Amino acid sequence: MDSFFIGIGVALCFLMLLTLHRAIHGPTAIDRIMGVNVIGTKTTILLVVIGTIYHRVDMFIDIALAYALLNFIVTIAASRYFHHRKNLIPKGYGFRFRSEEEK
Amino acid sequence: MIWQLDLSILTLIVICAFATIMVKDLLSAAIIFGAYSFLMCLLWTEMGAVDVAFTEASVGAGVSTVLFFAAVYQTSRRVGARKSGRLLSKAFALTAALLTGLVLLIAEADFPGFANPFTPASLHLSPYYITQTLHDTNVPNMVTSVLADYRGFDTMFETAVIFTAGLAVIAILRRFKKEARYDLPEPYVISEGYPDTIIRFVARQLVPFIQLFALYVVAHGHHSPGGGFQGGVILGASFILLAISFDFKIVLGIMSERWNVLLGNIGVLIYAGIGFLCLLLGANFLDYSMLSKVLPATDKIMARSHGMLGIEIGVAIAVMAIVVSIYLNIVSHGKYDKGL
Amino acid sequence: MTLVVILLTLTGIVFFFATTVGILRFPDFYSRMHAAGKGDTLSSLLILLALVLYNFHEVNLANLLVAIKILLIVVFIFMASPTATHAIIDAGYESDIKPWTKNPEEES
C-alpha cells in the first residue's frame, strides 16, 4: 500500500508541473494567480498523503489545515489588488529573454 | 525520506525559482514566489521536519506573499529601467555566486552522510534530548522543548527581533503630515474597489474559526507541530483577511496602532517577565522549575511545562501584533488612510 | 476496504488530471477558471475521503479524531475554494478581460 501512495504522490507532483506551465506562461497575471491557487490545493492533499506514507497522519493534519487557510488568504489578497489598479498590461510582461520592448 | 517524491519536489522548486527571477512583471514574480514557498514547505514536511514546515507555511507562504502584494500595490509593477548590459557588474555577480557555491561544495565533502547515526551530534547530543525530554519537562514535542526550555534565551531574543522589525517598519514608513500623495510612475486607473458581498460573508463566517484554530496551534504546541510563532502568525493572518475583505478602517478600529505596539511590548514582557520571576524565586534566569513555588499543585517537572506554555503565549501575542502592524504600515504607505 | 480506497484515490487522480488538462487547453481565462474551481474541489473531496477510509482500519478514538480533522479540511476547502474562484473571476472582469468568441477572432 505504501508504494501505491508514493505513486499517487509522484502523480500529483507531475500534475503540479503541468499546472506550473500555466502559472509561468499565463499571458496575464490573473492566470498566474489561478495556477498558484490550484498548486496550493494540490499541496494540501499531498501533505496528507505524505502523512499516510509515514503512518503518522495526526501530525500532518494541522499543517494541511493551515495550508488551506493561507492559500485562501493569498488568493483573496492577490485578486483584491486588481480592484484598485485596473490596467492589465499584457504586452512586454512575459519572460525576460523573450520580449523585446524595453521602455 | 522518499527519494521519488524528493526528486519531483526539488525539480518543481528549481523551476519555480528560475521563473521568479525571469518573469518581468513584479506582481507575477510575487505570485510565483508564493508557489515557491508552498513547495518549500512541502519539501521540509517530506524530510520529516514538521515544525519548520509549519512555520514556513504560515510565514513564508502566507504572510510574506501578502506583504509582497502590499508593497507592489504601493509602488509599481514594472521593473525599474536599467541600462542594458552592464557587463562588469553581471560578471562580478556571477563570479561571486560561483565562488560561494564552490566553497560550500568543498566544505560539504567533509560532512557526514545524511542521517548517519555515528556522527558526534547523533551520538552525544541527540540521544540526550530524545531520552530526557519527557522525563525532564513532560512535553512530548522535542522541538518545542528545545526551543522554549533548553534554549529559551535564544527564543527570547528572536521575539525581541520581531518586535524590533515592527519598530523599524514604523520608523521608516510612518508619516504624519497630510501631504499630497506622489504620482505613481505608471498611468494606472486607480479605483476604490466596491464592497463584495460574497467575500465579506465568507470572511465574516471564517475568521472566528481561523482564530480558534490559531489558539489551538499555540496551546497544542506541546503535543503536535505548532507553538507560539505559528499560532501568532495565523492570528495575524486572520486580521489581514478582515482588512482585505472589509475596510481598512475596521481593522484599525479593532487593532489600532497604539494597541499593536503595546501588545508587541506585552508579548516580550511576558517572556522576560517569566524569566525574571524565576530569578526572584531563587533560580537562574528562565529556569522554570522554580515556578512550582508560585503555581498551585505542580511539581518541578510540570512547572517547566507550564512555563513553556506561558512563554509561548507571550510569543504569540507579540507576533500577532507585529504582523498586523507591519501589514497596516506597508499597505497604506504609512498614512493609515486606506489600503488593499 | 482497500479496494474502495484504491478506487476512490484513482477517481480523484483522474479528476485532477481532467482539471489540469482543462487549465492548459481551454482557450479563455473564464473557462480555465471553471475547470480549476470545480475540478479541484471535487478531487480534493474524493482523495481525502479515501484517506479517511484508509485510516479506519481499526476503530478507536484517535482514528476518529483524525477522521474528523480530515473532514474539517474538506469542509474548509468546500467553503474557501469557490469563494477564491469568485474573487479571481471578479478580478478578471474588473480588468476587462474579453471572453473568447468563436467567430470572428480579433485576437487569439
Mean pLDDT of the region B40-46:
92
- What would the pLDDT profile of A30-88 be if each residue is shown by its tens digit? 889 999 999 999 999 999 999 999 888 888 999 999 999 999 999 999 988 888 877 66
Residue located via cell numbers 496575464 = A28
Q: If you average pLDDT over each of A72-76, C1-5, C62-66, which comes out highest?
A: A72-76
A40: Cα separation from own chain's centroid: 4
pLDDT in the model for residue A68? 93
Q: Is C108 within the bounds of a domain?
A: no
pLDDT of B36 strictly over 90: yes
Classified by CATH at the fold level, domain B1-78 comes out as Four Helix Bundle (Hemerythrin (Met), subunit A) (1.20.120)
Structural domain for C64, as ranges = 2-94
Cα–Cα distance list, B175 to B258, B291, B292, B326, B334 (Å):
15, 44, 48, 14, 5
Considering only the beta carbons, identify the residue of C9, C23, C66 that sits closest to A61. C66
Q: What is the DSSP letter of B77?
A: S
pLDDT in the model for residue B174? 86
Q: Is C18 within the bounds of a domain?
A: yes
Interfacial A residues in 11-50 facing B (CB < 8 Å): 13-14, 16-17, 20, 23-24, 29, 32-33, 35-36, 39-40, 43, 46-47, 50
Q: Is C81 within the bounds of a domain?
A: yes
pLDDT in the model for residue B3? 86
Q: DSSP characters for B52-73?
A: HHHHIIIIIIIIIHHHHHHHHH
**8 Å CB contact between B314 and B270:** yes
> B44-58, B90-104, C91-105 — which is least confidently predicted?
C91-105
* Helix residue ranges per DSSP H, B174-220: 197-219
Query: Is A70 in the B-facing interface, judged by CB distances under 8 Å?
Result: yes
Q: Which residue has the higher pLDDT, C105 or B44?
A: B44
HSE of A22 in the Cβ direction (CA atoms, 13 Å)? 29
Separation between Cα atoms, residue B291 and residue B303, nearest integer Å: 6
User: Cell digits for A66?
Assistant: 493551515
Neighboring chain B residues of C80 at a CB cutoff of 8 Å: 202, 206
What is the tally of structural domains in chain A? 1
Chain A: give the shortest CA distance to residue B70, in Å. 8
What is the tally of structural domains in chain C? 1
Region(s) of chain B under CATH 1.20.120.1200? 1-78
Interfacial A residues in 10-49 facing C (CB < 8 Å): 11-12, 15, 18-19, 21-22, 28, 30-31, 33-35, 37-38, 41-42, 44-45, 48-49
Of the candidates A71, C85, A76, the one whose C-alpha atom is nearest the C-alpha of residue B62 is A71
**Cβ contacts from A onto B, under 8 A:** 189
Residue type, position A77, single letter: A
Q: Is A100 within the bounds of a domain?
A: no
User: What's chain B's average pLDDT?
Assistant: 87
**8 Å CB contact between B203 and C86:** no
Mean pLDDT of the region B61-89:
82
**8 Å CB contact between B310 and B226:** no
- What would the pLDDT profile of C19-57 be if each residue is shown by its tens digit? 999 999 998 889 999 999 999 999 999 999 999 999 887
User: Cell digits for A73?
Assistant: 488568504
Mean pLDDT of the region B288-293:
83
Q: Angle at CA B182, nearest 5°, toward B176 and B184?
A: 135
Residue among B23, B26, B78, B83 with most chain A CBs within 10 A, to mutate: B23
The 10 Å CB-count burial string (b at 16+, else e) for B255-291 is beeeebbebbebbbebbbebbebbeeeeeeebbbbbb
Structural domain for A28, as ranges = 2-84
Q: Is A91 within the bounds of a domain?
A: no
Query: Is B263 in the A-facing interface, judged by CB distances under 8 Å?
Result: no
User: Cell digits for B109?
Assistant: 565533502
Q: Is A70 within the bounds of a domain?
A: yes
Q: What is the pTM of this model?
A: 0.90
Q: Is C99 within the bounds of a domain?
A: no
Residue located via cell numbers 500534475 = A15
Residue type, position B262, single letter: L
**Cβ contacts from A onto C, under 8 A:** 135
**8 Å CB contact between C32 and C26:** yes
pLDDT in the model for residue A92? 45
